[in-house]
Amino acid sequence: MISLALGGYASYGGIPLTGQVPMGPGSGFAVANEPFDAGLFTPLEALNALSEAEFTTFGHPAFPRYSVRAKKTRWCDTTVSSYTGYIDIEARHLFFYFFESRNDPDKDDVIFWTNGGPGCSSSLGLFMELGPCRVLDEKGPKFHPESWNSNANIFFIDQPIGVGFSYAEYGEAVSTTEEAAKDIAAFVAIFFENFSQFKGRPFHMAGESYGGRYLPVFAAEVYDQNARLIQQGLTPINLTSVMIGNGLTDEYSMIPSYFDMQCSGASVPPLNNVKTCVELKKTIPRCSKWLKAACIDHYDAIDCAAAAGFCGSAFQTSFWATGKNPYDISRDCEGGIEDLCYPITRHIRNYLDKPSVRTQLGVDPVVSGNFTSCSNKVGFAFSQTQDILHPTHDHVGALLEHGVRVLVYVGSYDWICNWVGNERWTLDLEWSGHDAFSSQSLRDWKVDGKFAGKTRSADGLTFATVHAAGHMVPYDKPKEALELVNRWLAGKDL
């Protein structure tokens, strides 16, 4: 989710985007001329070796800066084994949840899930969308039959540092996607090396919203890290696919699409009057020219920020005036900014604020404040580095060329990361499968014989809309979302 308070184009209208992108820290990977002694490493082998009473700490000598502490946690979905813990990067600590598959945990694929923001907790994905239980009211979690762990093992990670239950001891922060990617890739390698039951399993990196920026970079880091793993005599990660839901992958395709979503029948009847739409349409050529010159042809931090700020605000102002939910334009915004237009998020926050729940999950006592769905501090840090102004569609093209499949799915009612903008960048994507993909017309895909959306697919890339779903597709259309994912995991067309 891109937060109304901080992420996406909302930041262009409020927080000034200035400064340069800093260099990230080293990966922590053992250097080639100083190999570790593989004979000194003893993997844990199986997840069920973890204790329920206390954390078990493990790591790998190839990643000397990283360790992981995890525990078995009986809660939420009692039909499967679940685990929680922290990825410790010296004084920085990332919280995660892991649920085994309801089907066959010893054979099923592994999915990594992150929410967006930047700065939003993956507890939103877990408890509101695709997790094994949902917190729909103040009564707490309830079993969710359409969870994505129906046929897959799945992680939910609060990243980067400062999101959800993740924290830093001395105020350290991560402010770029490239920095965050190193932490995620290291954790993935440590996990698969320690729990050999998962070695070689198909691994899918999934998420939504700002995940459109995160995931292509995260997946590229995992893929490129494989060469170093092989060099160290370790097993490479079987990175099979990337799944981007309502993503912000190319903001320069997304900005003009805001006109389509407000002033045409691309999703629902036009939201704005004729006068407003005529004025907005006049803005498109100016913005397209300015953004291309300042951000794409030659990136200039000050000029690009100015262009994005002006153009983003031009389309936002008219949209906010409608009172509609930017994540679902078929409904009005309910609640305040903190609720992200969904009062259900209050129930999730209240649940995660309970001391008994935090103790059960193993949340570090140093995390003592009220739970927040999205961190303004993290969002501001990313805006200061202009992270959002660096599209990741080229990463998608490169991943496809290297055999990693990519699914881009979008709820048709979303405004902030809408289907029009996402379709545009997938059609324009430069890669060897461009002609085969872009030459196809959209076709219907169905679930139980009923229309579920539109799709096109070629050479490993699939674009799909989910009819009448908003930004959080699994929340609005859990049955269709699960069917989409199950078909994807099975390598089938929609």
Tell me the pLDDT tens digit for each residue of 115-130: 999 999 999 999 999 9
Same domain, 224 and 311: no
Residue 59 lies in a domain: yes
Task: State the pLDDT at residue 41.
Answer: 66
Name the catalytic one among 260, 328, 414, 476.
Answer: 414
Name the catalytic one among 383, 467, 471, 476.
Answer: 471
Residue 37 has pLDDT above 60, yes or no: no
Residue 398 lies in a domain: yes
Average pLDDT over residues 50-70: 89
The two three-digit tokens of residue 11, written as one number? 């930041």
Residue-number span of the structural domain to which 289 is assigned: 254-334
Name the catalytic one among 209, 257, 373, 412.
Answer: 209
Q: Which of 334, 366, 401 is the last residue of a domain?
A: 334
Same domain, 107 and 127: yes
Residue 416 lies in a domain: yes
Highest-scoring range by mean pLDDT, 37-46, 99-108, 366-375: 99-108
Question: What backbone torsions phi and psi does residue 272 show, to the nearest 5 degrees?
Answer: -110, 160
More confident residue, 25 or 239: 239
Same domain, 70 and 150: yes
Task: State the pLDDT at residue 312.
Answer: 87
Task: State the pLDDT at residue 435.
Answer: 97
Residue 112 has pLDDT above 90, yes or no: yes
Cα separation of 116 and 247, whole Å? 9
Give the helix/strand (H/E) hosting 3: none
Same domain, 158 and 305: no
- Residue 250 a catalytic site member: no
Residue 23 lies in a domain: yes
Q: Which of 309, 334, 359 is the last residue of a domain?
A: 334
In the chain, the number of structural domains is 2
Residue 245 lies in a domain: yes
**pLDDT tens digits, residue range 207-240?**
999 999 999 999 999 999 999 999 988 999 999 9
- Residue 356 a catalytic site member: no
Cα separation of 72 and 24, whole Å? 33
Residue 24 has pLDDT above 50, yes or no: no
Same domain, 323 and 299: yes
Q: Which of 334, 357, 373 is the last residue of a domain?
A: 334
Residue 199 lies in a domain: yes
Same domain, 91 and 195: yes
Q: Which residues contact 143 (CB under 8 A, 6 or more apart)?
A: 77, 132, 133
Same domain, 317 and 403: no
* CATH number (domain holding residue 298): 1.10.287
Task: State the pLDDT at residue 51.
Answer: 87
Place 336 in a pLDDT band, splitting at 50, 70 and 90. confident
Residue 364 lies in a domain: no
Same domain, 218 and 287: no
Q: Sign of torsion, CA 69 73 76 78?
A: positive
Same domain, 19 and 134: yes
Same domain, 104 and 166: yes
Same domain, 89 and 191: yes
Residue 349 lies in a domain: no
Same domain, 50 and 198: yes
Cα separation of 48 and 479, whole Å? 30
* CATH number (domain holding residue 411): 3.40.50.1820
Place 493 in a pLDDT band, splitting at 50, 70 and 90. confident
More confident residue, 37 or 25: 37
- Residue 209 a catalytic site member: yes
